[in-house]
Structure 1
Amino acid sequence: MHPAETLELVLAMLGAVLVLHWLAERLRWPPSAALLIGGGALAFIPGVPLITLDPELVLVLFLPPLLVDGAWHTELVRFRRHLAGILSLAVGAVIFSTLVVAAVAHWLMPTLPWAACAALGAIVSPPDAVSARAVLQRVQLPRRLQALLEGESLLNDATGLVIFRFAVAATMGAGFQAGEVLGRFVLLVLGGVAIGLAVGALWVVIGRRLRNELLLIVMTVLVGWVAYLSGEALGVSGVVAAVTAGLVLGWQQHVIFSAAVRLRGTSFWQVLVFLLEASVFILIGISLRDILTRAGGLEAVAGELALPLLAIVLTLTLARFAWIFASDAVVALLRRMGIGREPPIGPACATVMGWAGMRGVVTLAAALTLPADFPQRDFMLLAAFGVILVTVLVQGSTLGLLIRWTGLRRTAEDEPPMDMTAAERAMMQAQLFAVERLARDEAGNLVHPQLLRRYTARATAGESFTGSDEERTAAIASHFDVIIGAVAAGREELVRLHRTHQIDNETLRSLELDLDLEELGAESAKA
């Protein structure tokens, strides 16, 4: 394909992303489902070239920044608190699902070597971080359940990829022992953690000294790729390295970033993540044509492989439910014996957790890396795509309905000790104390009375709103509506002055930034 045609195809794909995302919002579908279906439909449009994904490029291009983004927003305290449950899902559930799928695959195809069956299990077993994030950000779950699912999605790729590589090597004649796999897995994980911590620490050191805002934002964006590629180059888990670096960034960014860097960087990062996530799903859909071509066409798939594919999907789903409910039963038993502090999550949470096992880019990329002469390679490619299709379209689309049906909601136990109102009051009091100290000269004379009045009014503003919670909320909303309206009037006047050549671009942009920050503050306070 000519480079210009490649560029045209990429631009067309981005245009399709916008249209499909807008359509998903209108139809109240998960965007991932609409992009997957749309990508599959686009692949069969006459004249669209056959697209073959490079699996290594897909993993390196998309996975590191998306893993860092997930880790960036992970609450580290809850992650550490629920680490045992997260590891049960990210390691135990993946290994168990791999074994169950391998057994069913060998039953369906007795001539398929056990190692190849294990490779298939490792391909389809780990839920995907991108798919999980695309769905979880649209629903509200109890914080413990959300922490478990988010933590699982960050770590389980490492488990699946390690098992997959050993299983492929064994199938191709290398051979391995269980003890070797366990030792290698521990080494890969610990090495990945070390690399991630080193890259994160280097980012902290440089970030404290770097004064150029754009360079700091660019450096932050590159951290995920640096950690991932460094880990892979040194023979450890690049996935764990990227996740660890992301956790460091998320924890330290509050003290490293200035307000300007945080505003600009967050905006840029949100656009980048949106484009990467959307591109992943539409590329998976577009790859359907290539996969069907390898398997001999849609008729061959429907006639010969439909039942085996359905069996793999059902097995994978049931295996996840079996592990989660069995693990919760063990937790309950240990709790009765006085062992362990965490209570069981209960049937409702276990049901939602079992259903929240969407697969995505890692599953497809792993399947595409299978050697050309690997036994039943075409079937495994179809199984990977079928699992992605079913879990994203069926589970991802109905997860919200299941949450409402089970009645899951955040309770008082899910909330932090201090609510937002109390935290805001404490913040404003700290600001007022600082102004009272800083607004005076060395002799103690007040030299900035306007600032003191302003911060005193802010710190005591909440006391002027009386009545019930609903009345206070309405009064506060009305208060900030006035501010937002005043900002709009000020912006309109600035534009008028600029259009009549009374102020230049620099003046417009400087004053407009002040208005933008004031509007953002008012909208945030109103929300």
Structure 2
Amino acid sequence: MELAEVLIILSGSLLVTGFARWKGLPAPLLTVAVALAVSFIPGVPDVEIDSEVILTVVLPPLLYSASLDVSLLNFRESRVQIQRLGIGAVVVTAFVVGAVAYVLIPDMTWPAAVLVGAVVAPPDAVSAAAIGRKLGLPRKVMTVLSGESLINDAASLTLVKVFLAIVGGATLTVWQDLGIFGLAIGVGVAVGLVLGVVAHRVRMKVDDPVVENVLGLLLPFVAYITAEELSGSGVLAVVAAGLYVGFNSPRTGYATRLQERPFWAAADVLLEGFVFALIGLQLRTVVQEVAESDRGLAQSVGVAFVVLAVVVLVRPAFVFASYYAARVLRYLLLSRLLRGMRRVPALRRVRYHPQPRLDWRQLSVISWTGMRGVVTLAAVVSIPAVTDSGVPVPARDTMFLIAFVVTVGTLLLQGLTLPVVIRWLGVQDAGQRDRDLAAQLALVATSTRETLEYVEARRPAWTAQYGPELTERAIQAATTRLVRENEVLQRRAVSDAEDRDDTGAERDRRRAVPRAIGQVRRELLDKRREVVLRERDAGALDEEVMRQVLMGLDAEELAMDTNALSSTRS
């Protein structure tokens, strides 16, 4: 793929994605549809997808960005459910789809059939997470979805690696297969953690947000390539590094965090649009190749839609069966274990921390979040026509068609209906926002109180250093806002309690006051920006001075959007 083609695809996909976000449409589907339509325009060249570009350039930053936003504590709390879906569901899906493909495709060997299953096995939770966040899915459900998407890619790509070797003639035992999996997991996690620790230490030492963010940009690529060179999982290396850096991000400077979030959000939009544009552009070529094959288009399309149905149905069957079977098994094993532990005095105080429970409605939503995406495309384009040992891969053109049909089909079927399913089942945590806001307010109140106590403890030392008059003025200036915030918080807590007892009209009237204050402040900020730009355009203000003033105004508006007190006004 030429550089000019890459730039055109990036630009076009960004335009389509921007339009979709503006109109509230599903961006992946619209991007695929537009790219497919463009591929039929006379003169548009066929686009060859390079698997190395997808695996080493597109996938690592997407995984790293997603892992930065995942709570490590919540991930650890739900790790059993995440591992069950991220590894177990991938393996089961691969073998079930493999069995179906082996029966339906005449020239398909068993290893090649499982290879097809491994390609279409991992769901991409990006779209599901965006929908769930917008509709207010419970946090434990969001944690399972996000965590699953971080590790199922590693399971899928490792399966592809194993069964591609078997297709090429390698003879591997079950223990050798498990050894490959174990090596991929161990090396991948170890490399990711080591690089994550190193990156965090450097970020703590370097007081330069630009350099720190460049380091963050390089980290996913270095982690992926290093782990792959050492026979580990590059996916797990990126995820481990991202989880560690994200968990320790609050210890770095504020400027780094403020720059980091919008950068990765922009990278996600650009790279995801690029991948889905490639799917649409390549789809016409895939269909033509299948139509020219011995199997014919009708048979191959029929097989692809059967595999799509199997992929959609296997997930809910596995989700429900594995969840309840695990609960029963855990209960039986733990009851015996705890009875045995009670006989040992030293173990009587050991407490078991159960995994978060999910009801049938939440499991149903998880079952319906099986949209495929980037990894399925990356996996299928990584399959060569002929293996390194010179063995042709059976029905490779049909593999491509199946991967594309499953990707587009799940986006259409599940992506479009997921919001309806969430609303219909009522799987929304309406109180999550209020609980989060209460926690923010309590935290601000606690930090304010302890800060004032710290001021009093440090007053003698500051007095000795700066003198009594200067110290008093400094303390007064620094603590006035803290005291005022604390008073506002106390009044707000009383107001919230009154809100619960008031009628709807009275509650709306009380809340209208802070909303009005916030709106007035924003309009005043806009007016100040208008004055700044007018002075710059008139030549009365230097551009550097303008940028500094605008940065202060932007920071003030950012504080309004993120401050706990400001959140109470919305």
| TM-score relative to the length of structure 2 | 0.85
Question: Given that residues 331 and 344 in structure 1 are in contact (C-alpha distance below 8 angstroms), is that contact kept between their aligned partners in structure 2?
Answer: no
Question: Given that residues 441 and 489 in structure 2 are in contact (C-alpha distance below 8 angstroms), is that contact kept between their aligned partners in structure 1?
Answer: no
Q: For 1:496 and 1:433, how far apart are their aligned partners in 2?
A: 46
Shift of residue 325 of structure 1?
Answer: 1.1
Shift of residue 357 of structure 1?
Answer: 0.9
2:473 alignment partner, one of 427, 433, 447: 447
**Within 5 A, what are the aligned runs for 1:303-342?**
303-334=298-329, 337=332, 341-342=354-355
Residues 1:302 and 1:430: Cα distance change in structure 2 (over 3 Å) = farther
Indicate the residue corresponding to 2:358 in structure 1: 345
Question: Given that residues 69 and 246 in structure 1 are in contact (C-alpha distance below 8 angstroms), is that contact kept between their aligned partners in structure 2?
Answer: yes
Counterpart AA for 2:550: E
Shift of residue 437 of structure 1?
Answer: 6.2
Q: Does 1:244 align with 2:240?
A: yes
Q: Does 1:486 align with 2:481?
A: no
Q: For 1:390 and 1:429, how far apart are their aligned partners in 2?
A: 55
Q: For 1:166 and 1:320, how far apart are their aligned partners in 2?
A: 23
**Within 5 A, what are the aligned runs for 1:225-240?**
225-240=221-236
Q: For 2:74 and 2:430, how far apart are their aligned partners in 1?
A: 16
Q: Does 1:97 align with 2:93?
A: yes
2:403 alignment partner, one of 368, 374, 384: 384
Counterpart AA for 1:359: R
Question: Given that residues 40 and 286 in structure 1 are in contact (C-alpha distance below 8 angstroms), is that contact kept between their aligned partners in structure 2?
Answer: yes
Question: Given that residues 129 and 145 in structure 2 are in contact (C-alpha distance below 8 angstroms), is that contact kept between their aligned partners in structure 1?
Answer: no
Q: For 2:458 and 2:40, how far apart are their aligned partners in 1?
A: 68
Shift of residue 156 of structure 1?
Answer: 0.6
Residues 1:357 and 1:441: Cα distance change in structure 2 (over 3 Å) = same
Deviates more, 1:435-444 or 1:283-292: 435-444
Q: Does 1:423 align with 2:436?
A: no
Question: Given that residues 132 and 153 in structure 1 are in contact (C-alpha distance below 8 angstroms), is that contact kept between their aligned partners in structure 2?
Answer: no
Q: Does 1:509 align with 2:504?
A: no
Shift of residue 27 of structure 1?
Answer: 4.8
1:49 alignment partner, one of 42, 45, 63: 45
Cα displacement string for residues 282-303 of structure 1 (whole angstroms, at most 9, x for unaligned residues) = 1121111221232136998652
Shift of residue 185 of structure 1?
Answer: 0.4
Indicate the residue corresponding to 1:365 in structure 2: 378
Give SS of 1:51's match. Answer: coil
1:405 alignment partner, one of 396, 418, 424: 424
| Contiguous gaps of at least 5 residues in structure 2 | 336-351, 386-391, 501-506
Shift of residue 322 of structure 1?
Answer: 1.1
Counterpart AA for 2:196: G
**Within 5 A, what are the aligned runs for 1:57-456?**
57-128=53-124, 130-133=126-129, 135-256=131-252, 258-296=253-291, 302-334=297-329, 337=332, 341-342=354-355, 344-372=357-385, 373-410=392-429, 419-433=439-453, 441-442=463-464, 445=469, 446-448=472-474, 449-456=476-483
| Contiguous gaps of at least 5 residues in structure 1 | none
Counterpart AA for 1:447: R
Cα displacement string for residues 462-505 of structure 1 (whole angstroms, at most 9, x for unaligned residues) = 34554526455433222222322232232222223333333312
Shift of residue 523 of structure 1?
Answer: 2.7
Deviates more, 1:322-331 or 1:290-299: 290-299
Counterpart AA for 1:100: V
RMSD: 2.6
Counterpart AA for 1:128: D
Q: For 1:164 and 1:210, how far apart are their aligned partners in 2?
A: 40
Q: For 1:389 and 1:298, how far apart are their aligned partners in 2?
A: 22
Deviates more, 1:478-487 or 1:115-124: 478-487
Give SS of 2:176's match. Answer: helix
Deviates more, 1:59-68 or 1:453-462: 453-462
Q: For 1:291 and 1:154, how far apart are their aligned partners in 2?
A: 29
Deviates more, 1:456-465 or 1:415-424: 415-424
Q: For 1:235 and 1:12, how far apart are their aligned partners in 2?
A: 35
**Within 5 A, what are the aligned runs for 1:26-37?**
27-37=23-33
Question: Given that residues 480 and 523 in structure 1 are in contact (C-alpha distance below 8 angstroms), is that contact kept between their aligned partners in structure 2?
Answer: no
Q: For 1:136 and 1:299, how far apart are their aligned partners in 2?
A: 43
Question: Given that residues 51 and 382 in structure 2 are in contact (C-alpha distance below 8 angstroms), is that contact kept between their aligned partners in structure 1?
Answer: yes
| TM-score relative to the length of structure 1 | 0.92
Question: Given that residues 42 and 48 in structure 1 are in contact (C-alpha distance below 8 angstroms), is that contact kept between their aligned partners in structure 2?
Answer: yes
Counterpart AA for 1:161: L
Q: For 2:270 and 2:191, how far apart are their aligned partners in 1?
A: 27
Q: For 2:262 and 2:285, how far apart are their aligned partners in 1?
A: 36
Q: For 2:305 and 2:436, how far apart are their aligned partners in 1?
A: 43
Give SS of 1:468's match. Answer: helix
Indicate the residue corresponding to 2:499 in structure 1: 468
Deviates more, 1:29-38 or 1:129-138: 129-138
Deviates more, 1:290-299 or 1:377-386: 290-299
Question: Given that residues 129 and 142 in structure 2 are in contact (C-alpha distance below 8 angstroms), is that contact kept between their aligned partners in structure 1?
Answer: no
Shift of residue 405 of structure 1?
Answer: 0.8
Counterpart AA for 1:458: E
Deviates more, 1:282-291 or 1:220-229: 282-291
Q: For 1:511 and 1:434, how far apart are their aligned partners in 2?
A: 33
Shift of residue 133 of structure 1?
Answer: 4.7
Deviates more, 1:102-111 or 1:314-323: 102-111
Question: Given that residues 224 and 234 in structure 2 are in contact (C-alpha distance below 8 angstroms), is that contact kept between their aligned partners in structure 1?
Answer: yes
Give SS of 1:199's match. Answer: helix
Residues 1:311 and 1:389: Cα distance change in structure 2 (over 3 Å) = same
Indicate the residue corresponding to 1:522 in structure 2: 560
Counterpart AA for 2:545: T
Q: For 1:43 and 1:269, how far apart are their aligned partners in 2?
A: 30
Deviates more, 1:157-166 or 1:285-294: 285-294
Counterpart AA for 1:351: S
Question: Given that residues 98 and 116 in structure 2 are in contact (C-alpha distance below 8 angstroms), is that contact kept between their aligned partners in structure 1?
Answer: yes
Shift of residue 211 of structure 1?
Answer: 2.5
Question: Given that residues 332 and 344 in structure 1 are in contact (C-alpha distance below 8 angstroms), is that contact kept between their aligned partners in structure 2?
Answer: no
Shift of residue 461 of structure 1?
Answer: 2.3
Cα displacement string for residues 96-151 of structure 1 (whole angstroms, at most 9, x for unaligned residues) = 11111111112213542211111111111111355555554544311111111111
Question: Given that residues 295 and 378 in structure 1 are in contact (C-alpha distance below 8 angstroms), is that contact kept between their aligned partners in structure 2?
Answer: yes
